[in-house]
Amino acid sequence: MPETPAPSTRLMVIPAALVPHVPLPRLELLSDARTRGAECVWGGERLTIETAIDLGKHVTDDGFNWFPRACLRCTRRAVRAARNAHPDQYTECKGPTALCDTRRALHELLLELRR
């Protein structure tokens, strides 16, 4: 019998170039657990190395470093919203056939998150 692969223990990371396109909640509204990545930044679910998606290091205007992470479900929702809103925010993405590199990358990320 073939062996079943062990579940991944690798933290999924959103590519740094896409992080600015996925809006996060306002920092001042978040609990300590959400700002340090112990809970989903959007939904508040408890995260583990197996369930967390790293949303990158963020630095506030006053130099505070924070490290948001999220659950798969909330990340999918946020990436889908960012992909769908992108054409309205950038003129190079307007039109029915236009698909800039950023929107294409957001779409590919969304497909990866569905696996």
Q: Where are the domains of the chain?
A: 12-113
Per-residue model confidence (pLDDT) at position 92: 60
Q: pLDDT digits over 14-30, tens only?
A: 888 898 889 999 999 99
104, 45 contact by CB (below 8 A)? no
Low-confidence ranges of the chain (pLDDT < 50): 1-2, 4-8
- For residue 35, count other CB atoms closer than 10 A to its CB: 19
**Rounded percentage of the chain residues whose pLDDT exceeds 70:** 79
Question: Which residues lie closer than 8 Å to 45 by C-beta, 6 or more apart?
Answer: 39, 51, 71, 74
* Alpha carbons 21 and 86: distance in angstroms, whole number: 8
Amino acid at 84: N
Per-residue model confidence (pLDDT) at position 6: 47
Report the predicted TM-score, pTM, of the whole model to 2 decimal places: 0.79
Determine how β-strand 65-66 pairs with β-strand 69-70.
Answer: unpaired
**Alpha-carbon dihedral angle through residues 102, 107, 109, 113, given to the nearest 10 degrees:** 160
Per-residue model confidence (pLDDT) at position 93: 62
